[in-house]
Amino acid sequence: MNASMTENIARLLMTAGNYYGSAELRTAFGLSSKQASTVLRLLHTTSRYQLVVKKEPLRVKVLAIGPVVREGRQPTQKELSERQQAQIQYLNTQVFKRQGQAAVGGTHAG
């Protein structure tokens, strides 16, 4: 089960506008029980999907799909605290011997 398959299913669910649980996903998309459970879990736990959730049994209605959020994204310098900036600067200059490089996103010339 990959992310693009989950997104395609989410788009179809959003278009349909109905609540779907594991049983409905199996029937509608010909998924195995394991695949249906995985899709349902990914939809429910991924912040990218805006849902209305019914519990007991878990059923979701997809309202919107947000942009892809990449894990491990480098924070911008504005998002770093002064202490974090100082730590990065220390690593760059003292440990890695990089001079004149910005704390985040700088280029090394030479």
Residues 21-55 have pLDDT tens digits of 999 999 998 999 999 999 999 998 888 889 999 98
Q: What is the mean pLDDT of residues 60-81?
A: 70
Determine how many CB atoms are found less than 10 A away from the CB of residue 39. 23
Locate the DSSP E strands across the chain.
49-54, 59-65
Beta-bridged to residue 49, according to DSSP, are 65
CB atoms within 10 A of CB 97: 7
Q: What angle do CA 47, 52, 53 make, to 5 degrees?
A: 90
Beta bridge mates, 78:
none
Q: What is the pTM of this model?
A: 0.59
